[in-house]
Amino acid sequence: MGAVLVPVILVLILVVLAAIAAKGFSRAEVRHSDRLQNADRPTLRYEVPRGQDPVAVLAGLHQAGYEASPDSEPGPSSPIVIIGDTGGAPDREAVRRTLSDLDGTNIVPEESGQVHRSRVKFVDES
C-alpha cells in the first residue's frame, strides 16, 4: 500500500506545482498586455489578416524589437495585436514595413489559401 501511495503523492505534488507555474506565467502575460494597453501609452493596433497566424506576427514584431501583445479586451483569440516601443511612440511607417516584410504564413494553407495582403493598415486607419 505504501509503495503505491508515494508515487501518487509525488504525481499530485507535480500537478500542483505545474498549475502554480502556469498561473504565474498567465499573470505575467496579462501584466505585460495591460502595460501595453495603458491608455496613456502610445501604441498601434493591428488587425491580423484572416488566415495568418497571429503568433507569427507577434514573433516577427518581437524579433524587430517591438513590444507586442494580443489585445485582451475582445478575448484571448482576438486578431488584434497591440504594438508598442520602449522608446516612446512606435514609428508607424517602420512598423508598417516590418509587418509588410513578414511572410504570409497561413494557419492551415490547404484550407485558407493565400493570405491576401493589401497595404498594412492599423485599426485607427480603417
Nearest by Cα to 55 from 101, 102, 23: 102
Q: What is the pTM of this model?
A: 0.60
Residue 26 has pLDDT above 90, yes or no: no
Ramachandran bin of 75, using left for φ above 0, alpha for ψ from -120 to 50, beta for the remaining angles:
left
What mean pLDDT comes out for the span 5-32?
82
Nearest by Cα to 50 from 106, 121, 124: 106
User: In the CATH hierarchy, which fold is given to the domain comprising 37-125?
Assistant: Alpha-Beta Plaits (3.30.70)
